[in-house]
Structure 1
């Protein structure tokens, strides 16, 4: 018999330096002023792929398509039943779609810059760490691409 698992999958969607924050009717992320789009993945070992599930959720909950999903953060939470849930947060860039929140699932949404999140002073540590991790990845990836192109130009 397969062992069931519960994992929260969330997206830190970036567009022109702003991040998509939502308030969901139900979420496995800690309560507070900020939330991310996504949902719990419930399945059996060997079934389903996290990234595909998250892409489907973003499309159904918000009508958005996103780019490459980069694991940028994780968070654990003990729910009211005493079970520990693992939330995985993937950083990604907005690709297409007009935000159209699914009624009863997404209560509110807004695009917020990191400066605004920091200015408000009420962002949880997990969110700030995830944004920093994703930005670090983008910076190191850009540097790697630039250095790589330079090597190719000088190559034989």
Structure 2
């Protein structure tokens, strides 16, 4: 990124670096999913990298954190509709509103013990879950399907 006002870079004056992790709160595949060559954006200055002589920038810190916004609207014990997005050995990820994902641990997937998530749900399934924990600091949402009356397994 070229800086309007900033420290001189030895090869590319006015250059700042915005890592993938600092580009967006949402998942994306390529930088062009977030920004385009020639696009003007405002970023937050994080630090000056004295080794590379360039500014480290963050585009995502200029936008509200969608997890925190989502966490303001829900409470532990609340039921949420969602869609299974990923199966992992110890549970499944379920995406609710605003593209926020939470984890349903294997023990919370059904009323009876389950050996593998695929025995109960598949990616793309729409399920109802209950919020069991909201960890704002770590940006994690714990969910339970077992605690919903509709989880019949």
Shared fold (TM-score greater than 0.5)?
no
Which protein is richer in strand relative to its size? Answer: 1
Q: TM-score, normalised by structure 2?
A: 0.23
Which protein is richer in helix relative to its size? Answer: 1
Q: TM-score, normalised by structure 1?
A: 0.23
Rg (Cα) greater in structure: 2
